[in-house]
Structures are given as C-alpha cells and as structure tokens.
C-alpha cells in the first residue's frame, strides 16, 4: 500500500515538474521579446488608457479590436500588469497559427498515448495559464466547430485533456483580440453570437496611427531610444523637420511598421542624423516639397508595397515583414491596389 502511494505521489510530482517546465519555457520565449508600455498621449490613446485603468482590477472578459500592428497585445499586457494577477503568468496564444487538428491538444492538453505522437502527458495552454491571464489573439480566425469547443470551456472554466475523462478546473482572466469585425461575422453566420457575448463583456478599440497622428513623433523617439541602446549607436538623432514629415506618411502597418522602420534605420544608419528616406524601404522617400494636402496616401502606399516586393525579389513573406504587417494584410492591400 505504501509502495503504491509512493508511486502515486511521484507521478503527481513528476506531472507538476513537467507543468512548471512548460510554463518556464513559454515565459522565457516571451521575456526575450521587447514588450513596452502602450505609448501615446493623443485623445484616442487616453481613452484606451482610461478604459484599461477601469477594468484591470476586475476579472471581466475583454475583447480588443483594432487593425494589424496597432498594439492589441500591448493593451492586453497592460491590463494584466495592472490586475491582481500581475504576479502570475500571461500566456499569449496565436489562434491563427494553430491548425484545426492540433487545436484541442494545444489548448486543452492530452494524456500519454492519446494519439500517435503523445509520448507523455502534456498540459494545454489553458491549464498552463491557470491563475493568470490567457490572451487569445486572432480569435476571428477560428472555424465554427472550434468556436463551439472553445465556448464550452469558457462557459464552464473546465478543460478535459484529450484521452482523459477527468475535468480540470482552470482559473483564468480571458482577453481576446482580432482585426476582424466580429459583429458583421455574426450577421454572416461566420462567428457564433453566443461566443461573442461570452468574450466581449468589455470591448476596447485600439486606434490606428491614422487616428492618432500626434503620437507618431512620440513613438518614433520612443523606439529610437530603445534601438540606439540595443545597437550601441547613441549619437544617432532625428530632427523635428523629419518628424513632421513622418507624421504625413500613412503607416499602413501601424505601430508595428513604425517600430520595424526605426529599428531598420538604426541598424543601417551611418550618419548622425536620420532622414525620412532612411525610415522607409529602399527607394522610397518623402519629397521635400510635398505638403500634407498633396500627400496622396493611396499612391504612396502602393509605391511602398511595390518597392518592398521588388526589394525582396517577389518574396511576399519578407516584404510583409519589412512593411511590418501580416502577409494576409499585404495580400489584401495588393488586391486593393491591383498589384
């Protein structure tokens, strides 16, 4: 009897060690990334910050809406940082990157032998995030069958690993995000209405850079200081005149594009002063004589895309990366401009 109890305790201890190892692995990947606070002083950003302050201390489910590259994950992390769960795990799950066949295993876990490659018990993302916050990014990408499976877990706050009949309670703060119009998708019957009601107790709209142009100089200077330190180039500067010109640029990839442009300019910069052309893909510049009234945003966006594609010799994935937008977003813009 004692021998059996000893084996049981050992098995439980091993499972807990494995669970902690999984958490550490996920956290270490996140720590390597450069996550900053949500930067901005414009009116739209102040409204977002006010909402963050009001909801952080609650456990309300939050739906964050906004275009690609606007900083939806930064908002989610700010909510977590200001919540009572701040000392616990924040786990980011990109639902757009998980295949349908792996969805249940990745989110809910599996037991040893549940399927061919299940060589050991493995906790899912919900189990790993228990006690903290789980951030489900790109939730609009889920198919209707997967939406039904997710809804069941969100309603009951219990998961069942594949290959097991045991329900495991999970204590999570749920934050979701998407660049899609979920209300329209509900009307088109491409998104479950009951799931939308479950995830959007509070909705936050993250503005694009076109909606917060006054923040562009602040953001450029913010990332300038970060990357000057990272790449050991403390003498690089940017003039007010250049910052003014960059406010006129449409920044189709939003903050992600701006951040990538500043980092690329710091890496390639050899002189002490950054110019407008050094923050764009090679071959693109803002004319010294252009003013805001004559700035054709659509034409410049088209030319920017063409030069990014040409610079990357037709590689759409690399062109999207240079522009700071998702490949799917680049395809949509290519279709829009007839490229």
Whether the predicted pLDDT of 15 surpasses 80: no
- How far, CA to CA in Å, does 115 sit from each of 94, 102, 108, 120, 154? 23, 11, 14, 10, 25
pLDDT-derived band at 283 (thresholds 50, 70, 90) equals very low
Cα pseudo-dihedral 99, 101, 106, 109, rounded to 10? 170
Whether the Cβ atoms of residue 178 and residue 139 lie closer than 8 Å to each other: yes
pLDDT in tens, 164-198: 999 999 999 999 999 999 999 999 999 999 999 99
- Cβ atoms within 10 A of the Cβ of 92, count? 21
Whether the predicted pLDDT of 10 surpasses 70: no
Of all residues in the chain, the percent with pLDDT exceeding 70 is 82
Q: Which two tokens stand for residue 190?
A: 């491409």
Least trusted range by pLDDT, from 27-36, 254-263, 299-308, 309-318:
27-36
pLDDT in tens, 50-97: 999 999 999 999 999 999 999 999 999 999 999 999 989 999 999 988
Phi, psi of 63 (to 5 degrees): -115, 120
């Amino acid at each position: 009897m004692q021998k059996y109890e000893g084996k049981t305790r050992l098995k439980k201890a091993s499972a807990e060690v494995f669970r902690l190892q999984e958490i550490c692995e996920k956290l270490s990947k996140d720590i390597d990334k450069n996550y900053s606070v949500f930067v901005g002083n414009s009116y739209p950003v102040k409204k977002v910050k006010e909402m963050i302050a009001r909801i952080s201390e609650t456990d309300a489910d939050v739906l964050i809406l906004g275009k690609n590259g606007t900083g939806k994950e930064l908002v989610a992390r700010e909510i977590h940082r200001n919540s009572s769960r701040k000392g616990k795990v924040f786990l980011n799950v990109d639902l757009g990157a998980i295949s349908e066949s792996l969805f249940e295993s990745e989110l809910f876990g599996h037991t040893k032998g549940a399927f061919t490659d299940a060589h050991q018990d493995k906790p899912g993302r919900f189990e790993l995030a228990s006690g903290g916050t789980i951030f489900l990014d790109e939730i609009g990408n889920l198919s209707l069958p997967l939406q039904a499976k997710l809804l069941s877990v969100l309603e009951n706050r219990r998961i069942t690993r594949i290959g097991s009949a045991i329900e495991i309670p999970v204590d999570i703060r749920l934050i979701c995000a998407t660049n899609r119009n979920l209300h329209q998708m509900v009307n088109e019957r491409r998104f479950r209405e009951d799931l939308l009601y479950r995830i959007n107790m509070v909705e936050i709209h993250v503005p694009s850079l076109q909606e917060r142009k006054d923040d562009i100089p602040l953001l450029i200077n913010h990332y300038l200081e970060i990357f000057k330190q990272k790449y050991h180039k403390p003498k690089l500067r940017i003039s007010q005149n250049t910052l003014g010109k960059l406010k006129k640029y449409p920044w189709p990839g939003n903050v992600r594009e701006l951040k990538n442009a500043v980092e690329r300019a710091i890496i390639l910069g050899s002189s002490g002063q950054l110019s407008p052309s050094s923050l764009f893909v090679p071959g693109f510049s803002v004319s010294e004589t252009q003013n805001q009234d004559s700035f054709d945003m659509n034409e410049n966006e088209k030319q920017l895309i063409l030069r990014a594609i040409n610079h990357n010799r037709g590689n759409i994935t690399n062109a999207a990366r240079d522009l700071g937008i998702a490949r799917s977003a680049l395809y949509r813009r290519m279709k829009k401009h007839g490229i």
